[in-house]
Amino acid sequence: MLRPRIIPSLLIRNKGLTKTVKFKDGRYIGDPLNAVRIFNEKSVDEIMVVDIDASTESRGPDFDLIRKLAAECRMPLCYGGGITTVEQANRIINSGVEKVALSSAVLQRPELISDIARELGSQSVVVVLDVRKRLLGGRYEIYVKNGTKGTGLCPFEFAKQAEALGAGEIVINSIDRDGVMEGYDMGLVRKMRAVTSLPLTVLGGAGKLDDIASLINEFGIIGAGAGSFFLYKGVYKAVLINYPSPESKDALFNKHFESIRS
């Protein structure tokens, strides 16, 4: 039976683990390899690692770091950052990574989705859409360059295009909610769920287990991603890597399945 996934999202900057707020003010957290080792012990469902400066700095993936991350991970690993070619994606998968996350490159060349899907299979192709809500008109727009440059692209239309081109998953990331820890943008998720049947992962806003519970209870089989929630503890945001216990996860999932049966 398919189940929801609860996914830590780790951001890499200068080879270190960092955490942002609304894509700004990156705070150094520590060694990403140590974080992965701790998450191994907590038996996480999946982990996503993104080099947030690779595309902005026009450089390719850090294959040495990818190799080390893949060697440490005992859970499915999705890696993103600087991927612009089929060859790069293939090398990453051959390093032991399960999925590649594509963003800026496919916004410029959507056909790259098809090219990589043909080579690696759709199940390995994740399209990440970093989204901000415009103040005027309230419409959602895809942004690039760490949330500093609008593209004019509608995330819902692009998600439909990505699905048609062979993407295997969509990640929708709310820039406005990043690091705020006040709950997911549920309106954004509803609109995205209405336009695509692909597996969907949501990032931006989780601050407590109830936020993840609300997402799963409404949308069922979905990926609940978070960064700050799994890296910080308490109102002063002390760094403490954490993850729901198996009992807490089972309670969330069972509540969802019970609602389906009733």
How far does the chain reach from its first CA to its final CA, in angstroms? 18
Enumerate residue ranges in the chain where pLDDT < 50: none
CA gap 17, 8 in Å, rounded = 12
CA 104 from chain centre, in angstroms, equals 14
CA gap 159, 9 in Å, rounded = 20
User: Which structural domain range is residue 27 located in?
Assistant: 5-261
Respond yes or no: is residue 176 known to be catalytic: no
CATH of the domain at 185: 3.20.20.70
Q: How many residues does the chain have?
A: 262
Amino acid identity of 257? Answer: F
**In the prediction, which pLDDT does 108 show?**
97
**In the prediction, which pLDDT does 256 show?**
59
Cβ atoms of residues 92 and 73 within 8 Å? no
User: Each residue of 207-238: pLDDT tens digit?
Assistant: 999 999 999 999 999 999 999 999 998 877 89
**In the prediction, which pLDDT does 247 show?**
86
Closest CA to 173 of 128, 135, 209, 138: 128
User: Each residue of 196-206: pLDDT tens digit?
Assistant: 999 999 999 99
Spatial neighbors of 82 by CB under 8 A, at least 6 apart, are 51, 54, 55, 59, 60, 61, 62, 88
Tally of structural domains, the chain? 1
Per DSSP, 74 falls in state S
Q: Choosing from 51, 130, 185, 211, which is the catalytic residue?
A: 130
**In the prediction, which pLDDT does 248 show?**
85
**In the prediction, which pLDDT does 258 show?**
63
Beta-strand (E) ranges in the chain? 5-13, 16-21, 24-30, 47-51, 77-80, 99-102, 125-133, 140-144, 149-150, 169-174, 200-203, 223-226, 232-233, 238-239
